[in-house]
Amino acid sequence: MKTISLNVFDEQSIDTAIAELEAYENGLDAKARELCERLAQMGALYAEWNFTGVLYAGEIDYRITVEELGENRFAVNADGKTVLFMEFGAGITKHGSGHPKEGEMGMGPGTYPGQVHAFDKQGWWFGKKGHWTHTYGNAPGMPMYNAAQDLKNEILQAAREVFST
């Protein structure tokens, strides 16, 4: 929190306080951008940490990026062939569902277009000749959802840090 003090109520003191207030106001746009960018970078870091902790039977392929969408708008993106499997899970017979956003987003085990194994009680084999892996799928790892939840816990502290200077 920015504090502006008046020691004496005279014209010079009031003019100084007004000047400080105007300088602070002029910097608000830059501070808002700094806060948004800081939160996006923190979100990307949380997403990266969360992806490294997801148990996934296949080859892991993901990339986390931060994209500026416009004035004070940023997006944290996760791209890759395995992102949706790692986020929402696969293999409903063993792992079931469990992602809080799966219904809203139409995702989750058994929803992948063209999938044939989600309901297979025996699981399935995948891989290449000579190197096959058996799996029942994977539970929802929710790295992006959890990154958003982690970030929610940091917003107030980040805002205090940015706007206090």
Q: Residue 87 is part of which domain span?
A: 11-163
* 1 within some domain: no
Residue 92: what pLDDT? 62
pTM of the model: 0.75
Is 5 inside a domain boundary? no
Q: Is residue 56 part of a domain?
A: yes
**Residue 159 included in any domain:** yes
| Total count of domains within the chain | 1
DSSP 68: E
State residue 93's pLDDT score: 60
Question: Is position 61 within any domain?
Answer: yes
Contact 85, 51 (CB under 8 A): no
Classify residue 4: in a domain, yes or no: no
Distances 89 to 57, 60, 104, 150 between C-alpha atoms, Å: 11, 13, 15, 20
d(C-alpha 48, C-alpha 142), whole Å: 12
Query: What is the mean pLDDT, run by run of 10 residues, along the chain of 165 residues?
Result: 76 86 86 96 97 82 95 95 85 67 75 68 72 77 95 94 86
How far apart are alpha carbons 43 and 73 in whole angstroms?
13
Residue 67 lies in a domain: yes
Chain segment 80-116, per-residue pLDDT in tens: 988 988 888 876 665 666 787 887 877 766 666 666 6
Contact 152, 36 (CB under 8 A): no
Dihedral sign of CA atoms 44, 31, 72, 101 in order: positive
In a domain, 6, yes or no: no
